[in-house]
Structures are given as structure tokens and as C-alpha cells.
């Protein structure tokens, strides 16, 4: 009850804080004397709410680490044998836990805002309302529900999620989600108070931080998919993937709108739109992925757990409040020219905002298609070609802007002549060699590659010293686009069968399958390949298949031979996974010889759970090979009407699983599988791909994240220099 009570109390105190901050905001507007008292009440209540929310989060973590399987959430996502780091990631593995993680970050950012003396009370009022929304969702579907029948062990984390990137990918995504609430709160406060200038300076570092965090989360998700799923890609235009991409694109429009508005006050309209819809798209994406709408169209969406309607209501509320205030204040917003001439920085900024917005709209339409068609009675989804065909021209336009924008980032009175950059045309012509070498002749692909290369050059050479953060991010985007276009369009793939120790020449590489071996800890098995080229030392690469709790192959990781210019990607199709184990029946103290190994049944005991709904048979065996003896303890578990045997591996080779026990005479039936004998005679069907310049995708994403992060740090004031009481280079980018 601790967690539930903490959430209830946190919700009540948050509502009081929101009311107090709103009262303080009204007092500030009307200059009433009681504004100080209201502000103190609001701050104290918010901090108390933060403490209560923290108690709930810490209690959930305690339940997971303490193996409290009487709680449904802990039972569903953790287990006794789960390593500590994966138990930690079980905190956010499920829907309820991910909302709790979101709440933790939201509270932390709120505490940072409340400590700043210059944070308007209206901002804290809106931010507290958003916090109340998250608490209501946690109250409606929280992680503290008890099971009707407590369990002795949990289901555990999906083997696919038992990966290093699961530890950092979701937290980074939710850092971005929580950060986007700050621009939303500032925008609504600016509209409500009719103050359209000061809010943008405060929003910029938060927008950059959110752009950095959300982008890093999306990029890490792509790399995780590439190295784990074995389908050869890093992006599938999955609706759940898109639900994070759309806020990132809108946030890109917001960042550029804020810089644009500093040059041309009329662009404040664009900044308001992007601030509002940045957070609205976060709520909308959350609704899509957690309402069950995408259950037939996405491989990793959540099932409907009763919060879909609630989330839809909050999406509509956020849109209504934001657009209503914007419409009311529209006549009061600054007017004027958005740019003075085409060859100017404000023009390129405006075009950047337009391109990011169009990209967001197209992806938004695509990911919303299942919802719209479901309402019309015939659920369907758009194909990948829709995204590719709409995104490629916009990407080409964006890298073209990145090519020319550094030319206009000069001092206000400096004369710009495009003739100065004649050498850039020569680089563009030389860039034709890359697509022609790779056999890419489609005009749009060629144009995108050429402008990506020229954008990389201009941002590396022409950028001003006070714009290095932007130059790095822009150069990273250019590098990433080259990697995406080339690795996708020039990708070669073939499905073939490899026979043990018989080399095969495929896609310019000689590949040899050398067999299968069990992992030392029994968590799965490796399939080993030798890959080599002429005049290049051959290398060993391994594909790994993880077992689930029942000992069946579950998650698969491909074998990747990484080279500077291309990845050689080997993904086993795994048609020969299932092999028949030798069934052996033994009495207590009896032994059986199977080829070169002896297995002896030592003892067994039966343990009944406290509720009587679960039974566990614990056994002890000795496996003897070549004079060596290894003791193993396989178990048979009856739970929820299902009997499963947990396999154990001896000598890294022999898999033993209990099939059944006769309680009357103590006889036991086991299955024995020699993995070494399998690997000696096995062949494997694989899909092999050659992915040129794939590493440019990862290098580009790192540069983008670094550039945005550097810009955010600068804007938060960590390394900010001041000249005459103002920021140095007030016209600077990032």
C-alpha cells in the first residue's frame, strides 16, 4: 500500500501546488500583495509532491530487487535468477513502470525549475498540471497491484530485452519526453500572460536538451535493433518507432524556430506552434503505443490495459488548451517580415523549420493510419515505400540547406558573395564518384548524396568558431544521411545454406560455418563463422541465440563482421534449431551411460508454495565424463497449470531437462541433448548482407548528439561567457 498511498498523496499535493502557483501567477499580473505567500505554498507543495513521487518510485525498485512476486508487475517482468542490471531495467520494462520512470524525470526537472528565481509561477502551474496527469495515469494503472495468488518466482524479462541497451535506451527516451514538457509549460505561460519575448530564452536550453536526449534514444534504439534482431535493418518505420521520431522532428522545428524568432520577431508564431505540438505529439504517441491500437501493426506496442481512453482525453485537453490560447492571443503576436532576402540566415532557418515540420507531418500521417482506418472500419497501415518516397526529397532539401546555411552565418553587415564558394561546386562534381561507384543512378539518391557531402564540407570548413556546436550537429546529420542512403540503396542480400566446414564465396567474402557451441552459462548457443577477403586476415564472428525460461530458442543476435567501409551481416534463419533429446528414465541412485558420458540420479525433493498453487521439484544429478564429475540441479516447476522444466548444461555441452517425476516410486524422466554432436553434423541456413558505409550512420548520430548536447550545455550557462551583461554571440547557433 505504500506505493499506492504515495501516488494518491502526491496527486493531491501536486494539485494544491498547481492551484497555488496559478494564484501566484494571477497575483503577479494584478500586483496583489499576497503573491509571496502563494509562491511559498506552491514551492513547498511541489517539493513535497516530489518526495512522495520519489517514495513510490523507490518502493517499486525495492519490490523488484526484493523479489516480491506477490505484485503483478514484479511477477510479469522480473525473476529470481535475473541479473541485477536486468532487474533494474525491469523497473521500466512494462507499461506501468515506464510511466513511473517518466514521472521520476518529470519531478526532477520540476525541482530544477522551482529552484530558479526567474521561473514564472505560471510555468510551474502548467508544469504541475502535467505532473498531475502523469500521476492520474499511474493511479489508474499503477505497478502496485497485488496478485490474487502470490507466486514463488516471476516470468522474468523477455530474452530480447536482456541486453545492455535496455538499461539505457528507455531512460534516455523518457528524459526527452520529460524535457519537452518544459517548452510546453513556458509557451502556455507566455500566451496566458501575453508576454511573447522572455520565454524563448528560457526555453532554448530545454529544447536543445530534449532534442539531444530524444535523438540519442531514437539512435540507440536503431543500433540496438541492428545488432540484436537479425533482420539486417536499424529502422522499419514501425509505428512505435515513429511515435518517438515525430516529437524529435517537431523539436527540431522548435529549436530552429527559437533562433529564427531571435532574428525576426514574427517567427514567434512558429515557436509557439512547435512548443505546443512537441509535447502534444509525445502524449499522442504514448496514446497510440499504449492503447492497443497498434497491436496488429507493431512488433513492440503495448496491449490495451485500460488507459487508452484516459490518454486520449489528455491529448485532446492539451491540444484544446494550447490552440485556444494561441487563437485568443493571435492578434497580439508580433508581426513583420519573416526574412529580408533569400540569401540570409533567417531564410535558411525558416526553410529548416518548414522541412522539419513537413517531415513530422508525413510521419504523423503514416503512423496515424491504423487509428484512422480502424475508426472507418477497415484497419490498415501504410507501406514503407510511403515513408521512403516522402522522406527522401525532404532529406535532400535539408542537406542542401545545410550546404548553404554556413555561408549566411556571418556578421550582420558582412557582404556575402556566392562566387567565393566556387570550389564547392567542384567538390559536388567530384562527389558524383560515390553514387556511380556504388551503382546508384536514381536522381534523387544522387542529389541527396552530393548535397550531404557538400554539407559536410561547408560545416567543417566555413562554420564560425562560436557556431561549432551547430556545425558538429549539422555535419553529423550530413554523415548520417550518407550512411542511411548508401547502406539502404546499395545493400546486397542473399539467403543460402552453409554446410559445416565447407567454405563458400558470397558477396565478395569467403565464409565458412564451423559449428555450434553452447554458452558456458547455458543461456543460449553460438553459431560460429569464419569470414575473410583476399589479402585480409579472416575473422571469427558469432551469432548468438538466447534461450527463454523453458529452454527454447527465443532472441537471436546476428554475426557481424565489422569493417570500416562495410559490414558483412550474417543472420541465421535457424531452421535446424529443434533436435530430439534422448529420453532416460532413472530411479534414485541409478545411472545411465550415453556414449561418452554417464549421468547419475542422486536425489530429489518436492517443494509446495504457500498457496498450494505452485510446486517445484528440485533434483540433483552427477554427470561424469573422462573421470571428471559435475553436479547439476535441474528443476521441474508446476505453475498456473503449466509444467515446465528448466534445463541445465553440464560441461558446457550436455543439456539436461526434467520431463516428469513419478512421486510414488521416485522414478524420474529426463531429456539429454549433446550439443557438441549437433554442431558436428549441422548445417545452417543464413541470410547474408553486405552493408556499405553503415558505420556512417552510427558516426553521424554520435556527432548529432554531441553537437546538440554541447549546445544545450552552453545555453544552460555552464560554459556561457557574457559580454556587457549579455550573451556573447547572441546571433550564434546552438
- pLDDT tens across 472-517, in order? 999 999 999 999 999 999 999 998 999 888 899 999 889 999 988 8
Q: Tens digits of per-residue pLDDT, 338-371?
A: 888 887 888 999 999 999 999 999 999 999 988 8
217 in helix, strand or coil? helix
Q: Does residue 579 surpass a pLDDT of 70?
A: no
The whole-number average pLDDT for the span 290-300 is 65
Q: Could you tell me the three cell numbers for 549?
A: 525460461
Is residue 447 within 8 Å of residue 392, measured between CB atoms? Answer: no
Q: Write the Ramachandran bin of 496: left for phi over 0, alpha for psi from -120 to 50, otherwise beta.
A: beta
CA angle 495, 498, 501 (to 5 degrees): 160
Q: Which of 325-334, 522-531, 593-602, 645-654 has the lowest mean pLDDT?
A: 645-654
Q: Lowest mean pLDDT: which of 207-211, 358-362, 624-628?
A: 624-628
Per-residue confidence (pLDDT) for residue 636, from 0 to 100: 82
**Phi-psi region for residue 508, left (φ > 0), alpha (ψ -120 to 50) or beta?**
left
Percent of the chain whose pLDDT exceeds 90: 50
Residue 428 is inside which H or E element, if any? helix 422-431
Count Cα neighbours of 436 within 13 Å in the Cβ-side half-sphere. Answer: 6
Q: Which residues neighbour 328 within 8 Å (Cβ) at sequence distance 6 or greater?
A: 191
Q: What pLDDT score was predicted for residue 718? A: 46
The residue among 467, 455, 463 whose CA lies nearest residue 400 is 455
More confident residue, 585 or 245: 245
CA-to-CA distance for 107 and 14, rounded, in angstroms?
A: 10
Given a cut of 70, whether residue 381 has pLDDT beyond it is yes
Q: Residue 727 — pLDDT band, cuts 50, 70, 90?
A: very low
User: For residue 599, what are the contacts with CB-CB under 8 A and spacing of at least 6?
Assistant: 584, 586, 591, 592, 621, 622, 623, 624, 654, 656, 670, 672
Please give the pLDDT value at position 708: 94
Q: How confident is the model at residue 733 (pLDDT cuts 50, 70, 90)?
A: low
Higher pLDDT, 116 or 234: 234
Pairwise CA distance, residues 445 & 155, whole Å: 47
pLDDT at residue number 549: 66
As a residue count, the chain comes to: 734
667 phi/psi in degrees, rounded to 5: -75, 150
Residue 722 has pLDDT above 50, yes or no: no
C-alpha of 189 from chain center? 30
Determine the pLDDT at residue 521: 76
Give the model confidence (pLDDT) of 698-714 as tens digits.
999 999 999 999 999 98
Per-residue b or e along 60-85, where b marks 16 or more CB atoms closer than 10 Å to that residue's CB = bbebbeebbbbbbbbbbbbbeebeee
pLDDT of residue 535 exceeding 80, the answer is no
For residue 657, pLDDT beyond 90:
no
HSE, side-chain direction, 13 A CA sphere, residue 283? 23
pLDDT in tens, 670-682: 888 876 665 455 7
Q: Is 268 left (phi over 0), alpha (psi -120 to 50) or beta?
A: alpha
What value does the mean pLDDT take over residues 181-197? Answer: 92
Q: Is the pLDDT of residue 297 over 70?
A: no
Q: Which residues 6+ apart lie within 8 Å of 338 measured at CB?
A: 260, 264, 266, 267, 346, 350
430 forms beta bridges with: none
Question: Position of cell 528507455?
Answer: 170
Q: What is the pLDDT of residue 640?
A: 56
What confidence score (pLDDT) does residue 103 get?
A: 96
- Is 298 in contact with 239 (CB distance < 8 Å)? yes
Residue 583 or residue 652, greater confidence: 583
Instruction: State yes or no: pLDDT of 402 exceeds 80.
Output: yes
Cβ contact 646:551 at 8 Å: yes
Specify the pairing of strand 591-594 against strand 614-625: unpaired
In 3D space, the residue among 307, 309, 302, 196 whose CA is nearest the CA of residue 258 turns out to be 196
Distance (Å, rounded) from C-alpha 260 to C-alpha 258?
Answer: 5
Q: Which residues of 249-284 are buried (b: 16+ CB within 10 A; e: fewer)?
A: bbbbbbbbbbbbbbbbbbbbbbbbbbbbbbbbbbbb
Give the tens place of pLDDT for each residue, 131-161.
999 999 999 888 999 988 878 888 888 888 8
Q: Are 92 and 170 in contact (CB under 8 A)?
A: yes
Tell me the β-bridge partners of 569: 560, 689
Look at residue 689 and tell me whether its pLDDT is greater than 90: yes
pLDDT of 606: 79
- Percent of the residues in the chain that have a pLDDT greater than 70, as a whole number: 88
According to DSSP, the β-strands at 722-723 and 591-594 are unpaired
Query: The cell 488548451 sits on which residue?
Result: 321
Interatomic CA distance for residues 260 and 348, integer angstroms? 9
Three cell numbers, residue 204: 532554448
pLDDT band at 446 (very low <50, low <70, confident <90, very high): very high
Percent helix / strand / coil, the chain, rounded to 5 = 55, 20, 25
Report the mean per-residue pLDDT for the chain: 86
Distance CA 644, CA 641 (A): 10
pLDDT at residue 384, as a whole number = 87
Average of per-residue pLDDT across 277-301: 79
Q: What is the pLDDT of residue 217?
A: 95
Amino acid at each position: 500500500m505504500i506505493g499506492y498511498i504515495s501516488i494518491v498523496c502526491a496527486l493531491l499535493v501536486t494539485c494544491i501546488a498547481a492551484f497555488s502557483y496559478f494564484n501566484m501567477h494571477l497575483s503577479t499580473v494584478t500586483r496583489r500583495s499576497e503573491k509571496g505567500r502563494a509562491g511559498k505554498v506552491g514551492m513547498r507543495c511541489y517539493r513535497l509532491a516530489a518526495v512522495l513521487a520519489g517514495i513510490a518510485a523507490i518502493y517499486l525498485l525495492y519490490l523488484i530487487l526484493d523479489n516480491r512476486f506477490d505484485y503483478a508487475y514484479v511477477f510479469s517482468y522480473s525473476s529470481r535468477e535475473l541479473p541485477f542490471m536486468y532487474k533494474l531495467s525491469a523497473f521500466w520494462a512494462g507499461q506501468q513502470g515506464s510511466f513511473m520512470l517518466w514521472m521520476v524525470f518529470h519531478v526532477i526537472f520540476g525541482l530544477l525549475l522551482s529552484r530558479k528565481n526567474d521561473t514564472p509561477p505560471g510555468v510551474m502551474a502548467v508544469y504541475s498540471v502535467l505532473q498531475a496527469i502523469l500521476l492520474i495515469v499511474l493511479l489508474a494503472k499503477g505497478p502496485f497491484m497485488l496478485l490474487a495468488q502470490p507466486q514463488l518466482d516471476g516470468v522474468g524479462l523477455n530474452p530480447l530485452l536482456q541486453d545492455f541497451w535496455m538499461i539505457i535506451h528507455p531512460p534516455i527516451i523518457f528524459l526527452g519526453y520529460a524535457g519537452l514538457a518544459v517548452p510546453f509549460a513556458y509557451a502556455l505561460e507566455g500566451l496566458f500572460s501575453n508576454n511573447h519575448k522572455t520565454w524563448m530564452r528560457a526555453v532554448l536550453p530545454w529544447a536543445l536538451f530534449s532534442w539531444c536526449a530524444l535523438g540519442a534514444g531514437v539512435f540507440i534504439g536503431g543500433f540496438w535493433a541492428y545488432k540484436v534482431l537479425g533482420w539486417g535493418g536499424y529502422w522499419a518505420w514501425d509505428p512505435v518507432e515513429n511515435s518517438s521520431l515525430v516529437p524529435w522532428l517537431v523539436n527540431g522545428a522548435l529549436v530552429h524556430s527559437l533562433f529564427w524568432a531571435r532574428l525576426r520577431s514574427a517567427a514567434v508564431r512558429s515557436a509557439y506552434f512547435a512548443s505546443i505540438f512537441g509535447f502534444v505529439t509525445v502524449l499522442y504517441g504514448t496514446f497510440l503505443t499504449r492503447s492497443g491500437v497498434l497491436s496488429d501493426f507493431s512488433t513492440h506496442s503495448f496491449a490495451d490495459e485500460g488507459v487508452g481512453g484516459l490518454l486520449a482525453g489528455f491529448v485532446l485537453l492539451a491540444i484544446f488548451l494550447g490552440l485556444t490560447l494561441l487563437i485568443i492571443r493571435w492578434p497580439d503576436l508580433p508581426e513583420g517580415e519573416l526574412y529580408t532576402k533569400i540569401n540570409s540566415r533567417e531564410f535558411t532557418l525558416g526553410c529548416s523549420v518548414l522541412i522539419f515540420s513537413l517531415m513530422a507531418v508525413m510521419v504523423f500521417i503514416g503512423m496515424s493510419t491504423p487509428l484512422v482506418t480502424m475508426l472507418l472500419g477497415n484497419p490498415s497501415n501504410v507501406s514503407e515505400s510511403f515513408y521512403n518516397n516522402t522522406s527522401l526529397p525532404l532529406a535532400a532539401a535539408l542537406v542542401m540547406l545545410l550546404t548553404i546555411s554556413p555561408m549566411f552565418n556571418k556578421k550582420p553587415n558582412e557582404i556575402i558573395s556566392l562566387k567565393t564558394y566556387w570550389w564547392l561546386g567542384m567538390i559536388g562534381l567530384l562527389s558524383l564518384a560515390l553514387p556511380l561507384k556504388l551503382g546508384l543512378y536514381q536522381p534523387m539518391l544522387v542529389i541527396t548524396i552530393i548535397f550531404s557531402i557538400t554539407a559536410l564540407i561547408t560545416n567543417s570548413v566555413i562554420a564560425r568558431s562560436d557556431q561549432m556546436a551547430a556545425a558538429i550537429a549539422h555535419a553529423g546529420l550530413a554523415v548520417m544521411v550518407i550512411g542511411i542512403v548508401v547502406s539502404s540503396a546499395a545493400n546486397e542480400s542473399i539467403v543460402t545454406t552453409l554446410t559445416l566446414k565447407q567454405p563458400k564465396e558470397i558477396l565478395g567474402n569467403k565464409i565458412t560455418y564451423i559449428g555450434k557451441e553452447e554458452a558456458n552459462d547455458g543461456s543460449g548457443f553460438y553459431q560460429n563463422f569464419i569470414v575473410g577477403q583476399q589479402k585480409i586476415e579472416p575473422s571469427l564472428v558469432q551469432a548468438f541465440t538466447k534461450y527463454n525460461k523453458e529452454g527454447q530458442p527465443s532472441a537471436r543476435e546476428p554475426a557481424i563482421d565489422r569493417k570500416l567501409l562495410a559490414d558483412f551481416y550474417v543472420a541465421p534463419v535457424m531452421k535446424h534449431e529443434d533436435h530430439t533429446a534422448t529420453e532416460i528414465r532413472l530411479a534414485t541412485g541409478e545411472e545411465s551411460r550415453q556414449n561418452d558420458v554417464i549421468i547419475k540420479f542422486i536425489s530429489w525433493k518436492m517443494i509446495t508454495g504457500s498457496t498450494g498453487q505452485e510446486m517445484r521439484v528440485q533434483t540433483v544429478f552427477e554427470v561424469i565424463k573422462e573421470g571428471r564429475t559435475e553436479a547439476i540441479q535441474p528443476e521441474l516447476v508446476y505453475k498456473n497449470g503449466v509444467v515446465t522444466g528448466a534445463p541445465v548444461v553440464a560441461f558446457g555441452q550436455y543439456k539436461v531437462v526434467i520431463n516428469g517425476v513419478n512421486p510414488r516410486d521416485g522414478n524420474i524422466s529426463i531429456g539429454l541433448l549433446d550439443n557438441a554432436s549437433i554442431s558436428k553434423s549441422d548445417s545452417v541456413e543464413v541470410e547474408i548482407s553486405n552493408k556499405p558505409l553503415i558505420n556512417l550512420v552510427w558516426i553521424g548520430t554520435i556527432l548529432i548528439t554531441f553537437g546538440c548536447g554541447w549546445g544545450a550545455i552552453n545555453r544552460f550557462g555552464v560554459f556561457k561567457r557574457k559580454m556587457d551583461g549579455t550573451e556573447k554571440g547572441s546571433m550564434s547557433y546552438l
